[in-house]
């Protein structure tokens, strides 16, 4: 099942999960973002999409793996900052405490640390072409990239809506929303629950902690035993969440079996 850009079904999903009104959703004719050059992204040759099935295999078994945080501390500064941002974006769910947990997460469809590092080298257009092949994990990486690209523009919403709607950010948000409704069916992993929670909580205006909680519930239902504790901790930090909104978003985010 795929929900295409601009269809009524697509905008209904966005409105439900983000808690926004139709007027808050980026217009389908929003400015198409041009390819951006990120000065912080490594200037290396991208991994060809045709070789993506091998992503992460070379360095997945990192010598003396202990924990995500320990591995990150050994990284160059730029890589460490990037991976820390990934961990925070997904509520800590990508992190592991030991080698056994790392393997369990990867077996459950979570991107490996090496996959994050390798796809970081790919351009936006290369990631999009890979996502267009229907590969669920590729879609997840592309959604993540669109969230990353949109972030510098989100502060404009509510302060200068005209500037926001004319910015590349509106297009990035629209693409993240569109692919998120596809990855839900294409990548049936607990990670997808966290991805949906991040998309619809971060990109919503105003931001929606209810959507983040719903994503954790979807991850729990999809088999992540850590999700309940993450949800409890998140709920303690956001005690005023509307539980009806959480439940409605949870129903929409359910990962098919």
For the stretch 22-57, pLDDT in tens is 334 444 444 555 566 554 555 444 454 444 444 544
Examine the pLDDT at 14 and tell me if it is beyond 60. Answer: no
Q: What is the mean pLDDT of the chain?
A: 84
pLDDT digits (tens, 9 = 90+) for 129-152: 999 999 999 999 999 999 999 999
Residue with the two structure tokens 């992503």: 55
Question: Using an 8 Å Cβ cutoff, are 173 and 151 in contact?
Answer: no
Of 235 and 42, the one with more pLDDT: 235
What integer is the mean pLDDT of 209-230?
98
Question: CA 94, CA 115: separation in Å to the nearest integer?
Answer: 12
**With helix as H, strand as E and coil as C, how does the chain read?**
CCCCCCCHHHHHHHHHHHCCCHHHCCCCCCCCCCCCCCCCCCCCCCCCHHHHHHCCCCCCCCCCCCCHHHHHHCCCHHHHHHHHHHHHHCCCCCCCCCHHHHHHHHHCCCCCHHHHHHHCCCCHHHHHHHHCCCCHHHHHHHHHHHHHHHHHHHHHCCCCHHHHHHCHHHHHHHHHHHHHHHHHHHCCCHHHHHHHHHHHHHCCCCCCHHHHHHHHHHHHHCCCCCHHHHHHHHHHHCCCCCHHHHHHHHHHHCCCC
Domain boundaries, the chain: 65-121
Examine the pLDDT at 12 and tell me if it is beyond 90. Answer: no
Q: What angle do CA 8, 218, 91 make, to 5 degrees?
A: 105
Examine the pLDDT at 11 and tell me if it is beyond 90. Answer: no
Instruction: Say how many Å lie between the first and final Cα of the chain, rounded.
Output: 14
Which structure tokens are listed for 122?
Answer: 């790919």
Lowest mean pLDDT among 40-44, 165-169, 245-249: 40-44
Examine the pLDDT at 21 and tell me if it is beyond 90. Answer: no
Percentage of the chain surpassing pLDDT 90? Answer: 74
Lowest mean pLDDT among 4-13, 74-83, 123-132, 201-210: 4-13
| Number of other CB atoms surrounding residue 66 within 10 Å | 15
What integer is the mean pLDDT of 114-142?
97
Lowest mean pLDDT among 53-62, 65-74, 177-186, 235-244: 53-62
**Residue 66: pLDDT band with limits 50, 70, 90:** confident
Residues 6 or more apart whose CB falls under 8 angstroms from that of 91 comprise 194, 197, 198, 212, 216, 230, 234
Residue 161: half-sphere exposure toward Cβ, Cα within 13 Å: 8
| Number of other CB atoms surrounding residue 104 within 10 Å | 15
Examine the pLDDT at 111 and tell me if it is beyond 50. Answer: yes
Can you give the pTM of this predicted structure? 0.81
What integer is the mean pLDDT of 222-237?
97
What integer is the mean pLDDT of 148-172?
97
């Amino acid at each position: 099942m795929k929900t295409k850009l601009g269809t009524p079904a697509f905008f209904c999903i966005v409105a439900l999960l983000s808690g926004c009104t139709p007027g808050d959703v980026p217009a389908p004719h929003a400015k198409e973002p041009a390819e951006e050059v990120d000065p912080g992204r490594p200037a290396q040759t991208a991994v060809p999409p045709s070789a993506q099935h091998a992503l992460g295999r070379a360095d997945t078994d990192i010598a003396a793996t202990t924990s995500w945080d320990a591995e990150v501390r050994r990284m160059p500064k730029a890589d460490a900052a990037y991976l820390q941002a990934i961990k925070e974006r997904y509520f800590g769910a990508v992190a592991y405490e030991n080698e056994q947990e790392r393997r369990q997460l990867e077996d459950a469809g979570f991107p490996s640390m090496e996959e994050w590092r390798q796809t970081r080298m790919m351009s936006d257009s290369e990631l999009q072409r890979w996502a267009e092949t229907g590969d669920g994990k590729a879609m997840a990486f592309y959604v993540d990239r669109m969230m990353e690209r949109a972030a510098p523009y989100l502060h404009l919403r509510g302060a200068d809506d005209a500037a926001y709607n004319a910015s590349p950010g509106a297009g990035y948000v629209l693409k993240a929303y569109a692919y998120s409704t596809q990855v839900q069916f294409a990548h049936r992993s607990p990670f997808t629950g966290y991805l949906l929670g991040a998309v619809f909580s971060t990109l919503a205006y105003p931001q929606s902690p209810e959507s983040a909680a719903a994503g954790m519930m979807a991850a729990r239902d999809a088999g992540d035993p850590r999700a309940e504790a993450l949800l409890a901790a998140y709920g303690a930090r956001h005690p005023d969440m509307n539980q009806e909104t959480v439940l409605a978003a949870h129903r929409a985010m359910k990962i098919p079996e």
